[in-house]
Amino acid sequence: MKPFIFSLAMVILFSIFLVYQTDNNNYMRQLEELKKVADECSASAGLFYDEELYSTGITVYNKEEGQKIIKYIIKESLELQDNLTPSSKSYWRQQVQYEVSFFDNSNTEFPFIYEDNNNNFTKIINEPTIIVKINAGKPYFRLKFLKLKSTIRTSAYEYVSR
């Protein structure tokens, strides 16, 4: 009876380790994908600028078009519905939220100090920059005792005029 109880305990313990490792590996892949999406969003929004002002050396981003392309990329890349809630194919389980900050010659004097309280970092902005912050909510783990916080990834596209 002793070997049976010991074997059963080991099977349960190894099952817990296997489930945790599988969920953690999946989460790490999704975290990297979320970073790629944030990078793509900030770079794509940088393509929309006022061409007439740009020809005079002034960079001013088209914020409306930038917001549209960012929402579209997030929706398509993370397999979300139109209101950014998860579909059945999405890894994420909560509504995805995003925040965009446009720093250009129309609204910023350079250098500018950007502070992000969620990720606890500070960036000195010397050139026109677009910062995209995506909050995908809590990750999916099958073990209920794991209490993870929200998943937030940030990316910045900086236009360098040199």
Count of the separate structural domains present in the chain: 1
Residue 162 scores a pLDDT above 70: no
**What does the pLDDT read at residue 160?**
77
CA–CA distance, 34 with 91 (Å, rounded to integer): 11
Read off the pLDDT of residues 73-103 as tens digits, 9 standing for 90 and up.
999 999 999 899 998 889 998 999 999 999 9
* Residue type (1 letter), 3: P
Residue 134 scores a pLDDT above 90: yes
Mean pLDDT of the chain: 90
Read off the pLDDT of residues 63-72 as tens digits, 9 standing for 90 and up.
999 999 999 9
Count Cβ atoms below 10 Å from residue 142 Cβ, excluding itself. 10
H helices present in the chain, as ranges: 2-45, 51-54, 63-77
Residue 110 scores a pLDDT above 90: no
pTM: 0.86
* Residues 6+ away with beta carbon under 8 Å from 36: 77
Confidence band (pLDDT; 50, 70, 90) for 27?
A: very high
Domain enclosing residue 38, as ranges? 2-158
Residue 131 scores a pLDDT above 70: yes
What is the residue-wise DSSP string for 59-76? Answer: --B-HHHHHHHHHHHHHH
